[in-house]
Amino acid sequence: MKKTLKKIALSICIISFMQISINAQNEMDALRFSEIDWQGTARFMGAGKAFGAVGAEFSALSTNPASIGLYKKIDITFTPLAISIFKNKSSYNGTTNLGQAVRGNIGNAGIVVPLPGISSTQWKKFPIAFGFNRINNFNNTFTIEGRNHGATIGSVFAAAAEGLHTKDIDFWKTEQWAAWESYLINPYNPMDSNCTSYYPAYLGKDMLHKTTVSQRGGIDEMLFSFGANFNDKLFFGLTMGIPFINYLEDRTFTETNDKKYYDTCAFRSLKMHDKLTVRATGINLKLGVIYQPFDFMRVGVAFHTPTFYGNMRDYLERKISFTGIDHKGVSFEKEESYTNTFNYSLTTPLRAMANVAFFIAKRAFISAEYEFADYRMASMYSEDYNFSNENRAIENKYAFSHIARIGAELSITQAFAVRAGYNYVSSPYKSKINDASKHYVSAGFGFKTAFLYGDLAYTYNTSNENYWMFDPEFVNTVKQKFITHRIIMTLGVKF
């Protein structure tokens, strides 16, 4: 019975702390794993990712699969170098902190083989392809530090303890117990063992808050593509995508009574360290068509089914420690640590896009794309937990996201080309709940011989987003500006 009660208390604690921890299984995670940031070869990135109507580009098999229909030669491509340099700013209650880091990953790898068409017909080629593209990059880091303006995480602990008798809190030895024993929260009536109401002892006191967050991983999509070329005018493509989520977030939060509001029986500091690992494998289908009405123009459309992740696996490791001073004036420390594993399913929104490309004397192109996704369509499910609140929050918080891409390439010589591009991604949030719009500027160049080719690209990415160190009801917003510099290099052969 005691073990059962302790498990129940621990579950209450975990659910109550969703806003202050990186524990997953809420609407924020549905958005994180539904958003797409197309990546891949240096040519694709350098020309603004706008290859949906240009065709014959491996990374475009993840956007408009009909791109495969333009292939005339075997293509083997590999992007071994994709370096991200982060320079982020976080402003909390008037104090700004910088977060910097350098991370690397493999951008893509794949092979395309154009199979012969049907003789004596207008079916020219039936290309097939296999490989992977990175379709989202989670790598990031930031630091937040500043005075709390009277906010305290004790408000969250007090709310989580509400309704529990003090004798039960002491028996179950949960985080609420550690907060109570460390004088971060107090019962309204300490003489009553049946008291079930608590208040944050340091609400309104000037204390120091600090959070450091390190995020790693991405979504790498294995793809199997098939296409067809009809009379060099109409191109079809089908891609089956198998995305793999690999996400790791390491987060440390501290609240420190550094101005020493105490004599005896006082709270001194709290430190919470969370390590969250998420793994999942999904499946989706993508259909695309490109039509070339004139030699100088192509238009395309593509439709992506929702991605279904049937095995989202979250593993959280938490260690939380409190320090305080007891009634004898002696310092002490209370510590709790545990792990939590949870499995659930996630369905992401469908996507659709339209593409157009104009060609100039077979030496240059200008292309543009529009893509949209309705993040209200994301949903979560588990046999062990009713996600009705989270799914309702998805519908209430999120909206359509509009993505515009434009790119260009110019062949200076037969062997050397330069590229440039721009992307805009609108915020996926409703109204002014949050501003998470993104801007991408890119440039690059490439060379090619009869068989070999190499490309190099640079992208400059900026975005703004709000963040809360714990429950937004109790703490002020952190204003964040993310700046990412990326350098991508691709090598390949065509024959």
259 exposed, middle or buried (CB, 10 Å; 0-12, 13-18, 19+)? exposed
Query: Does some domain include residue 169?
Result: no
Which residues, including other chains, have CB under 8 Å from residue 227's CB and lie 6 or more apart?
65, 66, 67, 68, 69, 71, 125, 126, 127, 128, 129, 235, 236, 237, 238
Which residues, including other chains, have CB under 8 Å from residue 265's CB and lie 6 or more apart?
183, 324, 325, 326, 327
pLDDT at 181: 82
Q: Which tokens in the block code for residue 274?
A: 């969370």
**Does position 7 have pLDDT exceeding 70, yes or no?**
no
pLDDT at 55: 93
Look at the pTM and tell me if it is higher than 0.85: yes
Which residues, including other chains, have CB under 8 Å from residue 4's CB and lie 6 or more apart?
none
Q: For 22-75, what is each residue's pLDDT tens digit? A: 345 789 899 999 999 999 999 999 999 999 999 999 999 999 999 999 999 999
Instruction: Band the pLDDT of 336: cuts 50, 70, 90.
Output: confident
Query: Does some domain include residue 393?
Result: yes
Q: Which tokens in the block code for residue 373?
A: 């996704």
- Domain of residue 308 covers 2-152+202-494
Q: For 391-443, what is each residue's pLDDT tens digit? A: 999 999 999 999 999 999 999 999 999 999 999 999 999 877 788 899 999 99
Q: How far is CA 78 from the centre of its chain?
A: 24
**Does position 218 have pLDDT exceeding 80, yes or no?**
yes
Contact in structure between 249 and 166 (CB atoms under 8 Å):
no
User: Which CATH number is 337's domain given?
Assistant: 2.40.160.60
Contact in structure between 178 and 228 (CB atoms under 8 Å):
no
Contact in structure between 103 and 216 (CB atoms under 8 Å):
yes
Residue 3 phi/psi, 5-degree rounding, is: -65, -40
pLDDT at 263: 66
Q: Which of 115-119, 178-182, 219-223, 490-494 has the lowest mean pLDDT?
A: 178-182
Closest CA to 54 of 305, 493, 417, 450: 417
Instruction: Band the pLDDT of 9: cuts 50, 70, 90.
Output: very low
Query: Does some domain include residue 172?
Result: no
Query: Does some domain include residue 182?
Result: no
- The DSSP bridge partners found for residue 346 are 309, 380
Closest CA to 101 of 82, 87, 91, 113: 87
Contact in structure between 45 and 39 (CB atoms under 8 Å):
yes
Query: Does some domain include residue 440?
Result: yes
Q: Between vectors from CA 125 to CA 52 and to CA 365, what angle results, nearest 5°?
A: 30
Contact in structure between 33 and 397 (CB atoms under 8 Å):
no
- The DSSP bridge partners found for residue 85 are 102, 485
Q: For 268-326, what is each residue's pLDDT tens digit? A: 999 999 999 999 999 999 999 999 999 999 999 999 999 999 999 999 999 999 999 88
DSSP strand pairing (400-411 vs 351-360): unpaired
**Number of domains the chain is built from:** 1
Query: Does some domain include residue 58?
Result: yes
Query: Does some domain include residue 79?
Result: yes
SS3 305: coil
Query: Does some domain include residue 224?
Result: yes
Task: State percent of the chain over pLDDT 90.
Answer: 76
Q: Which tokens in the block code for residue 195?
A: 């008291």
Q: How far is CA 197 from the centre of its chain?
A: 38
pLDDT at 338: 84
pLDDT at 195: 79
**Does position 19 have pLDDT exceeding 50, yes or no?**
no
pLDDT at 287: 98
Q: How many residues does the chain have?
A: 495
